[in-house]
Amino acid sequence: MFKATPFEYDDELKREIDLRGLSQRTFANYRSQLRRMSEHVKKDIKDISTEEAKGYLHYLKSELKRHPQTINLCRAAFRFFQQNVLGNHIPSYAIPHHKFEYRLPDILPPDRIIPVLGCLSLKYRAVLSLCYGSGMRISEALAVEIGDIESGAMKIHVRNGKGMRVRYTILSTYSLICLRKYWKSFEPPGPKLFPQRDNPAEAMRPQNIQRAFSDTYKKHYPLCNKKITPHTLRHCFGTHLLASGTDLPTIQLLLGHKSIKSTSIYTQLTDYHFSRLVSPIDRGRA
């Protein structure tokens, strides 16, 4: 893949991404989607018409059965490139936004998570403990630098949040113990706590960790029909905090949600709020 048609607009695309304060991850995602579209259409990306782009998006949907979020990401990448790199205005209605059914995230019972983490390698356990113990995205956990860990205050400085937002979140005792064992065993040269083996200046990639966690969980609980990913642990963090009585605004701050609406989904996933509610029909009978 990506051999037939070269992508020669890295500098221009990165400049426009940087000027808008968007993240390196956005640049990488947009670049990947644009290269795939160019490869499929067999044209330089600047020569692809709106109709050809729509045809490719339909191909993603009808033949490759890609998730609507992937289709919308590709749409956003094409519009961004056309408008901000080439200067071609494309109204939003010209390429429809793909609607999809929102599903509540899967949640794991607390007593199943720790045993599964304990079966993983020390490095993977240290990373994933931050996803569950601190509510971090795996990209955030992998990007942690040594100086971000404030063990005295039991908190972590998250510098690489979604939308370039920074925040503090809690540091669990479990994670601190894992991180200290990991540090003694691997002695990362710094500043990245979880660097790539061949490029210490860059953080590890998440794919192997994601696969190991999912496979280990399914091995322990083969009847589980849920889609298990490291992001599941982040949802568990929010849901289990809410179930223990933590208020939504605090959970919002710890997770780095821009809107309280994103955090409020956890009220659907725990019995804590439902157990405190009284139906109007029962009040009328009182």
The number of beta carbons lying within 10 Å of the beta carbon of residue 155 is 17
Q: Single out the catalytic residue among 35, 75, 125, 137.
A: 137
Active site residue 162: yes
| pLDDT for 5 | 56
- Please provide the DSSP assignment of 243-270 as one string: HTT--HHHHHHHHT-SSHHHHHGGGGS-
Q: Single out the catalytic residue among 25, 112, 231, 273.
A: 231
Take residue 20 and report the two structure tokens written for it.
């808008």
| pLDDT for 279 | 78
Q: Single out the catalytic residue among 75, 79, 123, 257.
A: 257
Angle between helices 50-62 and 68-80 (to 10 degrees): 170
Active site residue 159: no
For 164-192, the pLDDT digits (tens) are 788 999 999 999 999 999 999 999 987 89
Active site residue 266: yes
**Looking only at Cα atoms, what is the longest distance across the chain?**
74
- Rounded to whole angstroms, what are the CA distances from 249 to 160, 255, 264? 21, 10, 9
Report whether pLDDT(237) > 80.
yes
Domain parsing of the chain, residue ranges: 10-94, 110-274
Q: Single out the catalytic residue among 35, 40, 125, 234.
A: 234
Active site residue 234: yes
Q: Single out the catalytic residue among 124, 132, 182, 266.
A: 266
For 104-113, the pLDDT digits (tens) are 889 999 999 9
Active site residue 231: yes
> Do the beta carbons of residue 168 and residue 155 sit within 8 Å?
yes
Q: Single out the catalytic residue among 162, 181, 218, 273.
A: 162
The CA distance from 205 to 138, in Å, is: 9
Active site residue 221: no
Identify the weakest region by mean pLDDT among 77-91, 131-145, 170-184, 270-284.
270-284
The CA distance from 11 to 231, in Å, is: 31
Q: What is the overall mean pLDDT for the chain?
A: 90
pTM (2 d.p.): 0.78
187: alpha, beta or left? (left if phi > 0; alpha if psi -120 to 50): left
The CA distance from 41 to 192, in Å, is: 39
For 84-100, the pLDDT digits (tens) are 999 999 998 899 888 87
> Do the beta carbons of residue 32 and residue 24 sit within 8 Å?
no
The answer to whether domain 110-274 has CATH 1.10.10.10 is no
| pLDDT for 160 | 74
Question: Considering the domain 10-94, what is its CATH architecture?
Answer: Orthogonal Bundle (1.10)
The CA distance from 78 to 12, in Å, is: 14
